[in-house]
Amino acid sequence: MRAFDFVAATSAQHAAALLAEHGSSARLLAGGTDLLVELKEAAAVPRVVIDLSRARDLKRIALTAAGLSIGALATHAEIMASPLVRAHAPVLVDAAHSIGAAQTRNLGTLGGNLVSGVPSMDGGPALFALDAELVLLNASGRREMPISDFFLGPRRTVLQADELLAEIVIPKANLGKPACFRKFGLRKGQALALVNVAVSAWFDWDAHAFSAPRIALGAVAPTVVRARKAEAYLERRAVTLDAMAEAGRIAADEARPIDDFRASAGYRRDLVAVLTRRALFSAHAAALRVHEAAGT
C-alpha cells in the first residue's frame, strides 16, 4: 500500500469542504469495511483519505417534518438498535441484520453500503420499497433525489467527486408502511445475496386489496431495481395467495440475472418468484395482525 494523507472531518460541511479542496484525489472513510480492502489491493491508492468518524451530524437518526431521517454514517448496528427505526421502518432492521457478521454491522454504515453500488447490497431493496429519498452534499449546497435515481451500474452512482451522501429519508407518508425483506444466500450467515427482495404495500381493508405496492430486487440486475410490472399487477387487486404467486412470477420475468460461479440465471429467477411471494405474504400477515389488534 502506498502512503496517503489522512484528514479527519468534524462535520458534514467540513467533509464537503475537504472534498472541494482535494476533489478526485480523495476518498471518504466511513466504516472502512469496503475501503480498507480496496486500499490493500488497488493499485490506485488515493492521495488523501478523509475520515468521517468524527462527523456526528452524519450519524443522527431522527423524525423530521420530511419523515424518518437516517444519517449516512449510521451503522447497521445502530439502525438495528434504534427505537425510531424499529417503530417506523422495521424492514430496515431486518435488512441490516442480514449484513455480514456483528463486527461488520458495528462498523459498516448504511451510507457506505449504498455508495458501494454493489448490486447485491442488502440495504438498497428495503429503501427502494419505502421510496427513500437521498440527500447529497457538497460545499455549494445540497441536492435531493429518489434512491432509484442514485445508481448508474455496478459500483457506479451519480455522486460527483466533490459530493458525499449525507442523509437517507423515509418519506413521512411511508412511515409504518407494511413491508418485508427476504434474502437467500449460500449459507445462513455472513453470505452475499444470491437474490434479495423487499416489498411494501398498504392494504385497503374494505376491499381487502393491495394499495401502492412496491417490489424491489437485488443481485439480479446491474443495480437494485423495482419490479414495476409486478407492482402494477397488484395495484387494487384483491389479496390472495394466487395474486402473490403471480406477482412473483411477473417479478421473475422482470429480473435480469447473470450466470456466475454462485448460481445460474434461471435459479435466481426462481428465487425471485419464491422470495417475492413469501415477502408479500409476510407483509400482509403482519399488517393483518396489527389491523385486527386495533379492532378496525
Task: Give the domain CATH number at 138.
Answer: 3.30.465.10
Residues 221 and 260 reside in one and the same domain = yes
Instruction: Pick the last residue of a domain from 36, 51, 66.
Output: 51
Tens digits of residue pLDDT in 151-201:
999 999 999 999 999 999 999 999 999 999 999 988 776 778 999 999 999
Structure letter (DSSP) for residue 186 = S
Query: Parallel, antiparallel, or unpaired for β 133-138 and 141-146?
Result: antiparallel
CA separation (Å) from 139 to 15, 59, 163?
Answer: 9, 19, 8
Q: How many CB atoms lie within 10 A of CB 187?
A: 7
Write out the DSSP string of 187-210: SSSS---SEEEEEEEEEETTTTEE
- In whole angstroms, what is the distance from residue 270 CA to residue 248 CA? 9
Instruction: Pick the last residue of a domain from 142, 174, 206.
Output: 174
The answer to whether 83 and 60 are in contact (CB under 8 A) is no
pLDDT of 29 strictly over 90: yes
Residues 204 and 137 reside in one and the same domain = no
* Residue (of 109, 49, 30, 46) closest to 76 by Cα position: 109
Tens digits of residue pLDDT in 242-262:
999 999 999 999 999 999 988
Domain total for the chain?
3
Residues 111 and 158 reside in one and the same domain = yes
Domain that holds residue 132: 56-174
pTM over 0.75: yes
Averaged pLDDT for residues 139-149: 97
Phi/psi at 113 (5° precision): -60, -40
Percent of the chain with pLDDT over 70: 98
Residues 34 and 87 reside in one and the same domain = no
Instruction: Pick the last residue of a domain from 174, 195, 218.
Output: 174
Mean pLDDT (the chain, rounded):
94
Tens digits of residue pLDDT in 65-78:
999 999 999 999 99
Percent of the chain with pLDDT over 90: 86
The 3-state DSSP class for residue 163 equals: coil
